[in-house]
Amino acid sequence: MTPRGLRRTAVLAAGLLLLATTACGGGEEPTGAADDGTTLTLWTRAATESVSRAYADAYNAGHRNKVEVTAYPNEEYPAKLASAAGAKALPDLFAADVVFAAQYASRGLWADLTDRFAAFPEKDAMAPSHVKAATWEGRTYAVPHTIDLSVLFYDKGLYAKAGLDPAKPPTTLREFAEHARKVDQLGGDVHGTYFGGNCGGCVEFTLWPSVWAAGGDVLDDGGTHAKIDSAAMADVFALYRSLYEDGVAAPASKDEAGPTWLGALQAGTIGVAPGPSTWLDALAAKGIDVGVAPITGLTGGESTFVGGDTLGIGATSGKEAQAWDFLAWTMSEEAQVGVVAKNKGVPTRTDLAANEHSSADPRLVTVNGLVAKGRTPYAQNFNSSFNDPQSPWLKTVRGALFGDAATALAEGNAAITKSLQQG
């Protein structure tokens, strides 16, 4: 071959190589190619740290890539992410509360995963409300990471003492109130129920399912208009308000801002109360014979708030292929059953809801079965409108439960809508 021919061949070969590399970047590479011994940083919040660590440990054991998990206190986590984004120093992977996903996606904090996710074989089985939450203007930015559902916990021991059947949890919200009143009559330290009356996130997580179960709605699909000024919402608030006013709900419910919520339920003095499904173990560990039931509507129906975290690749990472290798692995059957279900978690894949581990505990079957019935609200300004302590939602909640209930919902609806539409 002439030197010129050699050069031409070399250029052609280089071109082909470049093409192949580009194709790999497009997400069609076999997972092995991206498992090249890279160290990946993963940030998460304390609430879901244990699940992220379990994923990382199992992945690290079988891969050359290494995932290093760093967890931050729940309240400080959004600020930490914002500072890192401002400094263009986001981690390779970071999880976010699913209700904040739309905000992070819209601000470009995550890398665009649309093509990679579209090529993922089981994409349709991924928890649909989580996938929607991490979608902004038709593009996918994160995948479901952990699932936490709101359920009704009841203390079977207290039920028996109060003359209620421990095998029959409430099937309507009215029945829930009746049961709570009955348990409350035991007196002493025992109270009928408990809720986070000074915590926007706690109230939306536990009260909205009752609205949804009754066929009501809280937000429009685009997340720009509040719909809380409804009879369904007013009924739910009125019921909880009467429980508080009659002393059936523990008095600390009014001031519960979140941090001592679990502790109050763990005390073993609360009859029946809604809470996060991930607390099942923590309650059982305190020796409470805890029963699990779906949250219901005023006269029937059941629903749940599909909470938890979504996980995406930091926009400033530069290790997208390796990070995707981890993400794709977390969605595999190996991880979903071998890590999540094994640790009594809710699989993020609906096709794996029934598995060898969940069938061992009927309570987990109840929990897993709720994913399909539940919802995840979607709004770009969700945090500032609902979860933040200074949000208009918390003001509305306080008014509806402890203040002027007549005007709270109407005024709150306008204020929340204004906040949702803020640029």
Partner 1 sequence: MSATMTSPPRDRAEPRHAAPRRARRALGGRRWRALVGAAYATPTAVVVGLFFLVPLVLVGWMSLHRWPLLGKPTLNLPDNFTGIADDELVESAVWFTLKYTAVMTALLFVVAFGLALLVQHRRRGVGFLRTAFLLPMAVGFASASLLFLGLLSDEIGPVNDLLSWLGLVDGYVSWTSGSPETALGSAVVLVLWRFAGFNMLVLLTGLQAIPPDVYEAARIDGANRWQTFHRITLPLMRPTIALVLTVMSTGSLLAFDQFWILTRGGPDNSTTSLVMVIYREAFVRLDLGSAAGISVALLVVLVVVNVVQFRVLRRRSE
Binding stretches for partner 1 (CB under 8 A): 78-79, 82-83, 85-86, 88, 103, 107-109, 198, 251-252, 254-255, 257, 260, 263-264, 315-316, 381, 383-384, 388-390, 394-395, 398, 403, 422
Quote the CA–CA distance of 365 and 379 in Å, as a whole number: 30
Task: Report in angstroms how near the CB of residue 219 gets to partner 1 at its nearest.
Answer: 18
- Closer of 255 and 281 to partner 1 (Cβ): 255
Task: Report in angstroms how near the CB of residue 384 gets to partner 1 at its nearest.
Answer: 5
Burial class (CB in 10 A: 0-12, 13-18, 19+), 161: middle
Task: Please say whether the beta carbons of 387 and 409 come within 8 A.
Answer: no
Cβ neighbours around 123 below 10 Å, total: 15
Type of residue at 212: W
Task: Report in angstroms how near the CB of residue 249 gets to partner 1 at its nearest.
Answer: 12
| Integer angstrom CA distances of residue 294 from 18, 93, 176, 365, 383 | 54, 33, 11, 11, 26
Q: Helix (H) and strand (E) counts for the chain?
A: 19, 11
Task: Report in angstroms how near the CB of residue 310 gets to partner 1 at its nearest.
Answer: 17
CA 38 to chain centre: 29
- Closer of 330 and 417 to partner 1 (Cβ): 417
- Closer of 92 and 217 to partner 1 (Cβ): 92
- Closer of 316 and 350 to partner 1 (Cβ): 316
Cβ neighbours around 195 below 10 Å, total: 26
Task: Report in angstroms how near the CB of residue 314 gets to partner 1 at its nearest.
Answer: 10
- Closer of 298 and 400 to partner 1 (Cβ): 400
- Closer of 196 and 345 to partner 1 (Cβ): 196
Task: Report in angstroms how near the CB of residue 36 gets to partner 1 at its nearest.
Answer: 27
Q: What is the DSSP letter of 345?
A: P
Quote the CA–CA distance of 222 and 238 in Å, as a whole number: 28
- Closer of 218 and 264 to partner 1 (Cβ): 264
- Closer of 373 and 402 to partner 1 (Cβ): 402
Task: Report in angstroms how near the CB of residue 372 gets to partner 1 at its nearest.
Answer: 32
Task: Report in angstroms how near the CB of residue 196 gets to partner 1 at its nearest.
Answer: 12
Q: Which long-range contacts (CB under 8 A, 24 or more apart) does 282-285 make?
A: 283/153
Provide the angle, in degrees to the nearest 10, between the axes of the packed helices 200-213 and 231-245.
120
Task: Report in angstroms how near the CB of residue 230 gets to partner 1 at its nearest.
Answer: 23
Tokens of 143: 């995948």
Q: How far apart are the first and last CA of the chain?
A: 64
CA 82 to chain centre: 20
373, 239, 362, 225: which is closest to 299 by C-alpha? 239
CA 403 to chain centre: 30
- Closer of 30 and 86 to partner 1 (Cβ): 86
